[in-house]
Amino acid sequence: MHKLDNNRIDLNLLRVLHVLIEERNVSRAAARLHLSQSATSHALARLRSHFDDPLLSRTPRGMQLTSRAEALAPSVARILQEVAVLADIGAQRSFSPADARGRVRMAVMPTVAIALLPPLMSRLASSAPHLRIELSHWTVASPADLVAGRIDLAVGPRVTEREGRLRIEPLLTDTWVCVVRRGHPAIERGLTQAEYESWPHVRLDSA
């Protein structure tokens, strides 16, 4: 093992590492980065040398991240996000939805998506036509995915902020209701929380 030279890390290499961690495939990473496969492989070799770790290992199930790569993932994502913010501040430019390009990765609860997505997608199509929206279901892992930079925003139930690294804005409130058959004995005599918890339930689970 050799000592890392922290003064020689290249931001372009970090961008390559970020995409490789997400794609876990050199060919797909090269396509996203608009690089040749050989250039991406060369960048991976430099990253392996710098971090003294394979980072991605070939297995029968495809390329898998090493524990070092898993540990690096959130820090790399955060560094690149902060660099992007600094670049915008340095350029002193305001955000223009009409000129925005790239993709926004969004996790949404299916029950909320029904009401939220149609008007949102319609508005984005007219105000930000060059943005690509990638949708996925909200899961219990979505807060961690936000922190790690695997998704950009999420709409789901309120969660405890993870180490102060998430900004949470209330979007809507909803009311829980209990639906039972007509004449259900629990309703007839008044439903307590203990009785509610004792009955079997049908539940929609988006996790």
Q: What is the pLDDT of residues 18-71, one digit of tens each?
A: 999 999 999 999 998 888 999 999 999 999 999 999 999 988 888 899 999 999
The better pLDDT of the pair 177, 130 is held by: 130
Q: Give the model's pLDDT for residue 156.
A: 86
The better pLDDT of the pair 204, 55 is held by: 55
Q: Where exactly are the structural domains of the chain?
A: 11-91, 101-155
The answer to whether residues 124 and 153 touch, using CB atoms and an 8 Å cutoff, is no
What CATH number does the domain located at 101-155 have? 3.40.190.10
The answer to whether residues 20 and 66 touch, using CB atoms and an 8 Å cutoff, is no
Percent residues over pLDDT 70 in the chain: 87
Reference 15, options 68, 64, 56, 76; nearest CA is 76
Does pLDDT of 194 surpass 60? yes
Q: Give the model's pLDDT for residue 85.
A: 75
* Integer Cα distance of 153 and 147 in angstroms: 10
- Is-above-0.75 flag for pTM? no
Does pLDDT of 119 surpass 60? yes
Reference 16, options 26, 7, 6; nearest CA is 26
Percent residues over pLDDT 90 in the chain: 32
Q: Give the model's pLDDT for residue 207.
A: 46
With left for phi above 0 and alpha for psi between -120 and 50, is residue 158 left, alpha or beta? beta
pLDDT-wise least confident of 9-18, 123-132, 186-195: 186-195
Average pLDDT over all residues of the chain = 83
* The CATH classification of domain 11-91, taken from the options 3.20.20.80, 3.40.50.2300, 1.10.10.10, 3.30.70.20: 1.10.10.10
Name the pLDDT band for 164 (thresholds 50, 70, 90): low
* Integer Cα distance of 142 and 132 in angstroms: 20
